């Protein structure tokens, strides 16, 4: 299940991508338009900023804006940043790998093998979908 954090984060990014110019948008503005708790959204936008997706400007007329072209922001980055691993099991995760305690041999594990398939499939979708694709469906 996708966390609300990720869901809200994506919605906010799409909101920003839909603006043609790069004029800063205020948190309160996004929060109202997308029905997201302002304080919660604040923390989400902050992590997006710290990870190089968003820029911000303080003071009057300030707000958040995209640092890159929406075409250059793939879903994989957004998901890994907000949600964490894309794989359903840590032992098949590319970026967040962890060995299973109970599994003596990964290659012989039925769960492992099918979850690799699922991961590859999901990854393919996320790799081929950018923020730009999300913004004009």
Partner DNA sequence: CCATTAACCTATAGACTTAGTAGGGTAAAT
Partner DNA sequence: ATTTACCCTACTAAGTCTATAGGTTAATGG
Please give the residue ranges that form the binding site for a second copy (CB under 8 A): 1-2, 7-8, 10-11, 14, 34-36, 75, 85, 88-90, 101-104, 109-111, 113-115, 117-118, 121-122, 125-126, 129, 134-135, 137
Report yes or no: 94 and 87 within 8 Å, Cβ to Cβ: yes
**Binding-site partner at residue 32 among DNA, a second copy, none, CB < 5 to 8 Å by type:** none
**Binding-site partner at residue 64 among a second copy, DNA, none, CB < 5 to 8 Å by type:** DNA
For residue 88, state whether it binds DNA (rule: CB under 7 A): no
**Binding-site partner at residue 121 among a second copy, DNA, none, CB < 5 to 8 Å by type:** a second copy
**Distances in whole angstroms, Cα of residue 90 to Cα of each of 2, 103, 106:** 16, 12, 12
Provide, rounded to whole angstroms, the least separation between the CB of residue 98 and DNA. 12
Report yes or no: 88 and 119 within 8 Å, Cβ to Cβ: yes
> Which one of residues 14, 26, 106, 118 is an interface residue with DNA (CB under 7 A)?
26
> Which one of residues 63, 70, 78, 86 is an interface residue with DNA (CB under 7 A)?
63
**Distances in whole angstroms, Cα of residue 8 to Cα of each of 29, 64, 89, 132:** 14, 15, 24, 17
Report yes or no: 35 and 45 within 8 Å, Cβ to Cβ: no
Kindly list the residues in this chain that would bind DNA in the complex (CB under 7 A): 3-5, 24, 26-28, 37-40, 42-43, 45-46, 49-50, 56-64
């Amino acid at each position: 299940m996708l966390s609300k954090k990720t869901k809200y984060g994506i919605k906010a990014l799409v909101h920003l991508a839909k603006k043609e110019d790069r004029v800063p948008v205020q948190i309160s503005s996004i929060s109202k338009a997308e029905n997201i708790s302002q304080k919660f959204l604040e923390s989400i936008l902050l992590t997006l900023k710290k990870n190089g997706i968003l820029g911000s400007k303080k003071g009057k007329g300030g707000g958040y804006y995209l640092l890159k072209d929406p075409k250059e922001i793939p879903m994989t980055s957004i998901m890994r940043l907000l949600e964490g691993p894309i794989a359903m099991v840590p032992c098949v995760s590319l970026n967040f790998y962890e060995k299973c305690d109970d599994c003596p041999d990964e290659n012989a594990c039925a769960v492992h093998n099918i979850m690799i398939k699922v991961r590859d499939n999901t990854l393919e979708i996320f790799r081929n979908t950018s923020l730009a694709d999300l913004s004009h469906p």
